Copies of this chain bind each other. A is one copy, B any other.
Amino acid sequence: MTQINAVVPFKTKGAKKRLAPFLSPEERKEFSTAMLRDVLSSLKDTNVTILATEEFTLDDSEMILKVRDQDLNEALNEFITDLHEPTLIVMSDIPLMRRWHVRWLLSEGITLVPGRGGGTNAIYMHDPSTFKVDFYEVSFLKHVKIAKERGLPVKILDSFYMSTDIDKPEDLAEVLIHCHGESCRYLKSLGVRLSYGKSRIGVERD
């Protein structure tokens, strides 16, 4: 497989606010880091740069840490503007991602990974300099449009695991059901478990 770059944006301060009050601020930070680790372990075959909002340590010397002070889109677009090597942008809150997804993402143009609710959970760019990202709101449709305007072929990666970004307490159920890696272990260590509501599953803890 060609060596590819991966960029993972990571927010430390005030991350995952919608998991409050189910998880405390300290637990949200721990859980965010556990999700990041799961994503990074699926990116073992790539050159990873973490684009963080502030300095932080992760006991893995292989990663490049870049601190950004701009908006996510600005920071990512600055990162890719002169880049011609195959590059992957991956959100840090999709802990169900696996190593084999990386191979599946490769294409000759742009690969978009839809998240639930119109988001984009990952983007593969064969030549990043030809693309421009525009996250937030219905970014999936915006990214399809940008690629088409630039004449780039678009592949849509149809993955449930990669579509599952963890924002709200009910999303934690997916982590427990499809248990895998550090995120699931961490939730279990807190005593978080599935709860059976009237029509849809949720989570509860002691």
The answer to whether A196 touches B137, judged by C-beta atoms less than 8 angstroms apart, is yes
Interface size class of A (residues with CB under 8 A): 20 to 34
Contact residues in B for A138 (Cβ distance below 8 Å): 177, 194, 196, 201
Nearest B residue (CB) for A170: B117
Write the nearest CB–CB distance from A179 to chain B, whole angstroms.
10
Within 8 A of B (CB), among A183-202: 194, 196, 199-201
Q: Which of B140, B161, B196 contacts A177 (CB 8 A)?
A: B140
The answer to whether B137 touches A174, judged by C-beta atoms less than 8 angstroms apart, is no
Binary contact readout A155-178 vs B (1 if CB under 8 angstroms, 0 otherwise): 000111111000100100110011
Q: Tell me the complex Cα distance, A173–B137, Å.
A: 12
Q: What residues make up the interface of A, taking CB atoms closer than 8 Å to B? A: 18, 114, 116-118, 137-138, 140-141, 158-163, 167, 170, 173-174, 177-178, 194, 196, 199-201
